[in-house]
């Protein structure tokens, strides 16, 4: 009887070991779902960061182009020795975009120097209306004595 009991205990012990070995060989459905939820959350966060980076880069490129347009306008005024009164506005196509340049002149302490505010705005190609101001530059124009 003792031998039979020992044999039964051995079989029971072997069966328990076999069951526990089977349960340790893979992941449960719950573990897989938790891992997928964590991965999905991380992937969404990384996608959001990538979108923000792309938008920031595009805005930086647009601001850089607008700065070049403003500097070109200032250089043209200096080359042509333009002396402004009041405000002026014009549209140009440069840097692969359509821009509106708004300039306004203000007097300074010196009668031979004026402050020129140059604002560059992006034009919508479809509606031909100003979308938004992109860059603003201020420079001081000196009157050329003739």
Q: Read off the pLDDT of residues 49-104 as tens digits, 9 standing for 90 and up.
A: 999 999 999 889 989 999 999 999 999 999 988 888 899 999 998 888 899 999 99
* Residue 81 or 20, more confident: 81
User: Cα 69–74–80 angle (5° rounding)?
Assistant: 125
Q: Read off the pLDDT of residues 102-132 as tens digits, 9 standing for 90 and up.
A: 999 999 999 999 999 999 999 887 887 887 7
* Residues 95/65, Cβ–Cβ less than 8 Å: yes
Q: Is the pTM of this model over 0.75?
A: no
Could you tell me how far CA 127 lies from the centroid of its own chain?
25
- Looking at 38-129, which runs of residues are DSSP E strands? 87-94, 97-107, 113-123
Q: Is 111 exposed, middle or buried (0-12, 13-18, 19+ CB in 10 A)?
A: exposed
């Amino acid at each position: 009887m003792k031998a039979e009991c020992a044999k039964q205990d051995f079989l029971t012990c072997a069966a328990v070991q076999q069951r526990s070995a089977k349960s340790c060989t893979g992941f449960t459905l719950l573990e897989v779902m938790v891992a997928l939820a964590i991965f999905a959350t991380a992937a969404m966060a990384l996608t959001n960061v990538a979108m923000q980076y792309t938008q920031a880069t595009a805005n930086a490129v647009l601001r850089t182009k607008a700065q070049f347009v403003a500097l070109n306008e200032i250089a043209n005024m200096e080359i042509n020795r333009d002396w402004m009164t009041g405000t002026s506005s014009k549209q140009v196509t440069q840097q692969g975009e359509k821009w509106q340049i708004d300039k306004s002149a203000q007097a300074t302490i010196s009668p031979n120097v004026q402050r020129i505010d140059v604002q560059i705005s992006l034009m919508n190609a479809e509606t031909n209306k100003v979308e938004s101001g992109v860059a603003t530059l201020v420079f001081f124009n000196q009157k050329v004595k003739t």
